[in-house]
């Protein structure tokens, strides 16, 4: 007697959640941007509009809008009637954003330090404490990086410059990809942690020179290793 073998059903990958009450294209843009910045989608990965539409269960119109925004962000390359792919990291853009970020963050930290009455740094310190608990956990890099963004956003908020932080984040996609290449090094995470604590301590002590030195030290880490990262990971550039 012959037996029939029935293949086990393939697992169904759930569709990314979209809030249908809101505009769809910006949500797709953010999800795809996160995939690129996190390096889940590596440079030169092919992107097929129809596959993305199927994944999200939408028409190709909002996908087209999302891809146009990613192209404007410099995160994808589009060859009409040919192909679309994730763009390599632009080293020139990375250096420009590093310069912009250094100028803005020094001014933000000094503004927070000089505010009267003194600002409450409890939220910033709590983020540093959370990062300290994650610094040794290689599996928690995404959470560690999210806390890093939260730390800097907190300082911008305390300086009354929340909108400026949003602009900086929008311009920092390539820099974030470089930092994501750097974060697997445990020493890098420990350096970030030490720098954040130094910034909080300098602001709390109301020492402008120490504030500037702490921010410069923090923002020089990735800049000092950029050439090394390019040599180590040439396929990303």
Is residue 36 within 8 Å of 70, Cβ to Cβ?
A: yes
pLDDT tens, residue by residue, 27-59? 999 999 999 999 999 999 999 999 999 999 999
- Cα 52 to chain center, whole Å? 22
Measuring CA to CA, how many Å separate 25 from each of 19, 20, 46, 51, 141? 11, 11, 20, 15, 28
Q: What pLDDT is attached to residue 125?
A: 98
Low-confidence ranges of the chain (pLDDT < 50): 1-12
Q: What pLDDT is attached to residue 20?
A: 85
Q: What pLDDT is attached to residue 182?
A: 80
Q: Quote the DSSP letter at residue 175.
A: H
pLDDT tens, residue by residue, 108-127? 999 999 998 999 999 999 99
As a whole number, the mean pLDDT across the chain is 90
Q: What pLDDT is attached to residue 138?
A: 83
Question: Which H or E run includes 186?
Answer: helix 186-204
Cα–Cα distance for residue pair 49/83, rounded to 1 Å:
10
Cα–Cα distance for residue pair 17/56, rounded to 1 Å:
8
Q: What is the pTM of this model?
A: 0.81
Q: What pLDDT is attached to residue 61?
A: 96
């Amino acid at each position: 007697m012959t037996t029939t073998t029935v293949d086990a059903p393939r697992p169904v990958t759930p569709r990314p959640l979209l809030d249908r009450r809101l505009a769809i294209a910006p949500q797709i843009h953010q999800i795809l941007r996160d995939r690129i910045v996190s390096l889940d989608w590596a440079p030169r990965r092919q992107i097929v509009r129809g596959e993305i539409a199927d994944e999200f269960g939408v028409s190709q119109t909002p996908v087209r809008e999302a891809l146009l925004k990613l192209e404007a962000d410099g995160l994808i390359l589009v060859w009409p009637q040919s192909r679309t792919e994730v763009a390599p990291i632009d080293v020139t853009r990375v250096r420009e954003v590093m310069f912009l970020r250094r100028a803005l963050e020094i001014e933000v930290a000094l503004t927070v330090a000089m505010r009267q009455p003194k600002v409450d740094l409890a939220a910033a310190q709590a983020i540093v404490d959370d990062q300290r608990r994650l610094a040794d956990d290689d599996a928690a890099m995404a959470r560690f990086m999210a806390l890093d963004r939260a730390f800097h956003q907190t300082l911008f908020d305390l300086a009354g410059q929340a909108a400026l932080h949003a602009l900086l984040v929008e311009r920092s996609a390539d820099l974030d990809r470089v930092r994501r290449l750097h974060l697997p090094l445990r020493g890098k995470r420990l350096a970030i942690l030490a720098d954040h604590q130094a910034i909080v301590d300098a602001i709390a002590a109301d020492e402008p020179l120490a504030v500037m030195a702490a921010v410069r030290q923090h923002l020089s880490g990735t800049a000092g290793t950029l050439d090394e990262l390019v040599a180590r990971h040439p396929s990303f550039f």
